[in-house]
Chains A and B, each alone.
Chain A
Amino acid sequence: MQPSLSPLVASLLTEPVGVTHYLVVGAILFTAGVACMAVKRNALGVLMGIELVLNGANVNFVAFASPYLQAEGGKSLGLDGQAIALFVILLAAAEAAVALAITLNFYNNHATVDVDRADDLKG
């Protein structure tokens, strides 16, 4: 351990983590997902962004579900949170399949996976 380590790091490593920590991770994942959707022109990239968004949401659910990440008196979601996370995972898998189907059809019709070219219906 180097003496230059700031007290912040020290406190981070010695303090137990709470829900907030998880929420921050979830927020970063969520934002990264949104950014991914906004930046990627590749349809598959957009799809991955969606996965990230769902994953960020899942982190939140699991964090809320955990009873020992909260202060005394805090109310956890309990099993509900885990169950919701579970369903999100399952539905994300299904969503991926459907989205892939859309992508493939798009590819068949346009010979590209660039979503910017998918503006046939623009106003």
Chain B
Amino acid sequence: MIPLAAIDWHSVFFFLFAALACGCAVAVVAAENVVRMALYLVLSLGATAGLFFLAGAEFVGAMQLMIYVGGTLVLLVFGVMLTAQAPFVSIKTAPGDRVLAGVIGAALLAVLLQSAFSVPEWRKPAAGRDGEPAATPLGMALLGTRVDEASAGAPGGVRSGYLLPFEIVSVHLLVVLVGAAYLARAKRRRTPRAIEVAASMEPPATVAAHAAVGREGSRGGSVLAGGAR
């Protein structure tokens, strides 16, 4: 019998989220359907965000929700789009592969767990240590000012923050953005289907009519497609 008063609620929530995260992660491995995999992945990532909140990294947690989970949303959409056709919804894996992967995974897990338990200081936290929320110091650090260490009077003076990595990541993201735009770009290309559709428009009644009327408005299809795909 556990006295209710003795329950550490932080631990309870931790186990709740941890179980959700781990369970969903395992479910990702187990699931066959790619859309379900994506769903489990989202749940796992979301639960991990909860763990971040518990660990006092609220900003990272919110970031995880916004970017990671949002990014996975795109994955999901692509998954739906590409694999909604029956042959790709589930591609079966040979049982042998599964067993092999299981063995190797178990070995890896064992190694990781061994190291996780290897440091006694990590097992138990000190009592009564309350973490300061880190959003503002983190934000300032990203701008190049380390308020946390300055206030703590860290030896060696104030360290510069993460301005440079922040900028690098910004540029990196920009490059990726450009790359994504390149991927989704629309280009005019003559393919058999284009010829067929163009031919089916002969006699070019509507085209000629549009030309005669004088203003052929843009159909805006590219915007749609650029966004929707």
Contacts and interface: CB of A to CB of B under 8 A. Distances in A.
Interface of A: 1, 3, 5, 9-10, 12-36, 38-42, 44-45, 47-49, 51-52, 55, 58-59, 62-63, 65-74, 78-79, 82-83, 85-87, 89-94, 96-98, 100-101, 103-104, 107, 112-114
Interface size, B (range): 35 or more
Given A16-B11, A90-B169, A94-B173, A74 B88 contact: no
B158 to A, nearest CB: 13
A interface secondary structure, majority: helix
B137 interface: yes
Given A47-B75, A96-B72, A89 B64 contact: yes
A72 B93 contact: no
A93 B45 CA distance: 13
A83 B129 CA distance: 21
A119 B156 CA distance: 53
A71 B91 contact: no
Contacts of B37: 40, 44-45, 48
A10 B5 CA distance: 12
Contacts, number: 286
B28 A52 contact: yes
Contacts of A22: 51, 55
A74 B55 contact: no
Given A29-B48, A44-B79, A96-B72, A74 B108 contact: no
A67 B26 CA distance: 29
A71 B123 contact: yes
13 contacts: A15-B124, A25-B22, A31-B112, A38-B105, A44-B78, A51-B41, A51-B45, A65-B57, A73-B121, A94-B176, A97-B71, A97-B179, A112-B88
Contacts of A94: 172-173, 175-176
Interface in B163-208: 165, 169, 172-173, 175-177, 179-180, 183
A79 B141 contact: yes
